[in-house]
Amino acid sequence: MSYTRFDAVEEAFARPPVKAVPPAPATSEYYGCCVFNRKNMRKYLSSDTRQKVYESIEQGVTLNRDVAEQVAAGMKRWAMDMGATHYTHWFQPLTGGTAEKHDSFAEPYGKGESLEEFTGKLLCQQEPDASSFPSGGLRNTFEARGYTAWDPTSPAFVMGDTLCIPTVFISFTGEALDYKAPLLKSEAAIAKATADILKYFGIENEFIYSYLGWEQEYFLVDASLYAMRPDVIMAERTLVGHNSARNQQLEDHYFGCIPSRVLEFMKDLEFECYKLGIPIKTRHNEVAPNQFEIAPVYEQANLAIDHNLELMAVMKTVAEKHGFKVLFHEKPFAGINGSGKHCNWSIGTADIGLLSPGKTEMENLRFLTFTANILKAVYDNNALLKASVMTASNSHRLGANEAPPAIISSFLGTQVSQAFEELLNTDDMVRIGGKSKYSLGIPQIPELLIDNTDRNRTSPFAFTGNRFEFRAVGSSANCSSAVTVLNTIVASQLVKFKEAVDRRIANGESQVKAIMNETREVYRSCRDVCFDGNGYSEAWKIEAQRRGLDCETSAPLCYDAFLSEKTVETYKSVGVMNEVELRARTEINWEIYSKKIEIEARVLADLTANHILPVSTRYQSILLDNVSKMKEIFTETKDFQQVAAGEIQIIKDIAMHTSEARALSVAMEEECDKFNAIESQREKAIKFHDVIVPYLESIREHVDALEMIVDDDMWPLPKYRELLFIR
């Protein structure tokens, strides 16, 4: 007997929890032990060298080769003491995930001898074989080579037996080939633009950061059941599968008790995260069965993103140890909540959060100034912001009836909305809500008490007290894509704002009045982006269109926003990417989109032909056999019809669904072959979206109908009810 779905289910349900590694008594004893952090640097680097490294991390000062040589020597000793035998430049190609090529420290020389070697040059720069990564034509246009360069602002770490050095990946002519390089440039851009505005508020010589706190959602499935689902293995989602009778209707999973098997996994995961200095803070169940979330305390965006990518890698290994597979796909199961990665984003100095309303009038004006400019940037670039999070997998969330809709609007909450409305309606000399004239000419904005009670869960870009929460980001995404766009558009808007304020000052307005008047105008021009209602309603779609918000749901068309004149100008104005780089990225987006859909199409066609149809026709034959035998017993036509009508109908249904599914699969594959010949990546992606995606949906309908008809004993694929409930 061959291994069946039932063997897998039995295995899954009988699997005892794997005891997590008992953590050391207190996290403080091992936190960050696998990171080349300050504590470890103190042991392995001289104080001069450390000083230089800190300057580089905190102020972006470039490290010279001598210092790099010292750092490399210390880093090597530390890594070898940690048991590392290899090192790698760890980078973030546009295909998603991370890439690494491991080199051994061992440097064999002479006759049968070897030395451990790691120089400053090896630390600073490497040349991986870039040809296997997509470049969107960049390397054809320029050089066939790309190199990785050390990013000292994100500390090196040891994972397994390898020293991992965070790097950017760029072409020899300097174009970014990865996610990190533009992110770092966008951080510099927003730091500069923000610092220029802060001078008005008496804050100078402070370094500015963009901060990010992500919330990673994911699904777990049992490894044995996973192994029986070729669609989940290859496309990370179920391409077929009828809804389970019980899924999330009861909403009893959210914040419910975590199954013990999962809890042990989480403990292990947290242990591994703490060793890597990932500041994990919360863990809980999510809305859907088998869905969970893990979130850290926010950090500087660049570091937070590296930590998120490290987490995703660690999760896969830890899950395997516990007999799970972790799914980062945004929509692994139809009809059940998808997974996102909310990006909580803010800007600030080391001590001051600029999106926190303050206690004084000046602080509140500062808050309104930055908030208004962010809203304006989001309003003017809402299509671009959506494009930054749109992927083949995330498009199942965006625009579908679940948070958030495919229209980027912002929710402010009552207090902040009111403060802005007051600013609009007040003559600046009049005190809000009061009678007396205000001598400084600052509207006395009441102290804002930010409530978190009226949080709007359908808003894609919600103000949540001291930050904006961008909820449209997909669970499998590299957050850099979204954060780079946010930093860039806000930086560019702040530059424009400063120019306008300076013009007002030159025309005789006082500085405070100029800021206030300009903030009012900025808010007035973009208040249409604010929406506090139900983002799922049909009425909102119509209203959003009227307000000039982008309502496109087709991913390939959304990507056009990267190449609009406005986007190119915005990116250029703050020096984050040039037009060639933007075009390359967009080409890659289209290419990846087509490839993902094509994989789904091929897998589904395979599944239909090799799993579903054979089983369905086998079951049909059993019924046919039964019916023809009945005919021998019930010789009267009337009697026969009465007893066999039901089965005959099922036979007909199976015939209809199998023939339809077969015909659609064949046609879909033919279309795929045809579309593959299309030269233009954009045109190709549009075809995959417009033609192939509907095929996937209709084939699924037939297969899911068959799942409900065919004998449960014969069905080869683990069903939703088996995949979705961990015991």
The whole-angstrom separation of Cα 473 and Cα 483 is 10
Pattern 374-403, ligand ADP, x by CB under 6 A: ------------------------------
Least distance in Å: CB of 21 to ligand ADP? 25
**Does 353 help bind ligand ADP (rule: CB under 6 A)?**
yes
The whole-angstrom separation of Cα 268 and Cα 322 is 9
- In the complex with Mg ion, the residue whose CB is nearer, 134 or 465, is 465
Residues 6+ apart with CB under 8 A from 53: 41, 45, 63, 67, 71, 152
Least distance in Å: CB of 366 to ligand ADP? 15
Pattern 618-657, ligand ADP, x by CB under 6 A: ----------------------------------------
- In the complex with ligand ADP, the residue whose CB is nearer, 461 or 720, is 461
DSSP string, 465-506: SSSEEE---BTTS-THHHHHHHHHHHHHHHHHHHHHHHHHHH
Sole binder of ligand ADP in the list 467, 504, 662, 700 (CB under 6 A): 467
Least distance in Å: CB of 698 to Mg ion? 35
Number of amino acids touching ligand ADP (CB under 6 A): 14
Q: Find how far residue 206's CA is from the centre of its chain.
A: 30
Span near ligand ADP by CB under 6 A; candidates 13-21, 338-346, 374-382, 620-628? 338-346
Q: Is 532 left (phi over 0), alpha (psi -120 to 50) or beta?
A: alpha
- In the complex with ligand ADP, the residue whose CB is nearer, 283 or 321, is 283
Pairing type for strands 162-171 and 86-90 reads parallel
Sole binder of ligand ADP in the list 37, 243, 466, 573 (CB under 6 A): 466
Least distance in Å: CB of 356 to ligand ADP? 7
- In the complex with ligand ADP, the residue whose CB is nearer, 215 or 231, is 215
Tracing tokens 């094509």 back to the chain, one arrives at 598
The whole-angstrom separation of Cα 17 and Cα 256 is 18
**384 and 561 in contact (C-beta within 8 Å)?**
yes
Span near ligand ADP by CB under 6 A; candidates 9-17, 81-89, 98-106, 291-299? 291-299
Phi first, then psi: give them for residue 410, nearest 5 degrees.
-125, 140
- Cβ-count burial of 409 within 10 angstroms (0-12 exposed, 13-18 middle, 19+ buried)? buried
- CA-based end-to-end distance of the chain: 26
The runs of H, that is alpha helices, within 276-413 are 301-321, 361-380, 382-387
Phi first, then psi: give them for residue 220, nearest 5 degrees.
-115, 140
Tokens at 56, concatenated? 């580089």
Span near ligand ADP by CB under 6 A; candidates 241-249, 289-297, 326-334, 409-417? 289-297
- In the complex with Mg ion, the residue whose CB is nearer, 242 or 342, is 342
The whole-angstrom separation of Cα 92 and Cα 700 is 34
Chain length of the chain: 727
Residue 297 contact among ligand ADP, Mg ion, none, beta carbon within 5 to 8 Å by kind? ligand ADP
Helix (H) or strand (E) holding 235: helix 230-235
Tokens at 717, concatenated? 């694929």
The whole-angstrom separation of Cα 484 and Cα 318 is 30
Pattern 135-164, ligand ADP, x by CB under 6 A: ------------------------------
Tokens at 44, concatenated? 């392995």
**Does 295 help bind ligand ADP (rule: CB under 6 A)?**
yes
Least distance in Å: CB of 115 to ligand ADP? 44
**Does 342 help bind Mg ion (rule: CB under 5 A)?**
yes
Interface residues for ligand ADP in 207-236 (CB under 6 A)?
A: 211, 213, 215
The whole-angstrom separation of Cα 230 and Cα 232 is 6
Pattern 292-331, Mg ion, x by CB under 5 A: ----------------------------------------
Residue 296 contact among Mg ion, ligand ADP, none, beta carbon within 5 to 8 Å by kind? ligand ADP
Please write down the HEC assignment for all residues of 55-91: HHHHHCCCCCHHHHHHHHHHHHHHHHHCCCCEEEEEE
Least distance in Å: CB of 295 to Mg ion? 8
Q: Which residue type does 565 have? A: E
Tracing tokens 């300097």 back to the chain, one arrives at 174
- In the complex with ligand ADP, the residue whose CB is nearer, 12 or 305, is 305
Cα angle: 617, vertex 620, 622; to 5 degrees? 115
Residue 17 contact among ligand ADP, Mg ion, none, beta carbon within 5 to 8 Å by kind? none
- In the complex with Mg ion, the residue whose CB is nearer, 284 or 541, is 284
Phi first, then psi: give them for residue 70, nearest 5 degrees.
-65, -45
**Does 341 help bind Mg ion (rule: CB under 5 A)?**
no
**Does 344 help bind ligand ADP (rule: CB under 6 A)?**
yes
Least distance in Å: CB of 435 to ligand ADP? 36
- In the complex with ligand ADP, the residue whose CB is nearer, 466 or 564, is 466
Least distance in Å: CB of 215 to ligand ADP? 5
Span near ligand ADP by CB under 6 A; candidates 92-100, 134-142, 342-350, 703-711? 342-350
DSSP string, 239-272: SS-PPPSSSSTT--STT-PPPHHHHHHHHHHHHH
Radius of gyration of the chain (CA): 29
Sole binder of ligand ADP in the list 282, 534, 537, 628 (CB under 6 A): 282
Residue 295 contact among Mg ion, ligand ADP, none, beta carbon within 5 to 8 Å by kind? ligand ADP
Q: Is 163 helix (H, G, I), strand (E, B) or coil?
A: strand
Tokens at 94, concatenated? 């546009």
Residue 353 contact among ligand ADP, Mg ion, none, beta carbon within 5 to 8 Å by kind? ligand ADP
Least distance in Å: CB of 526 to Mg ion? 24
Least distance in Å: CB of 466 to ligand ADP? 4
Give the binding site for Mg ion (CB under 5 A). Answer: 342
Give the binding site for ligand ADP (CB under 6 A). Answer: 211, 213, 215, 282, 295-298, 344-346, 353, 466-467
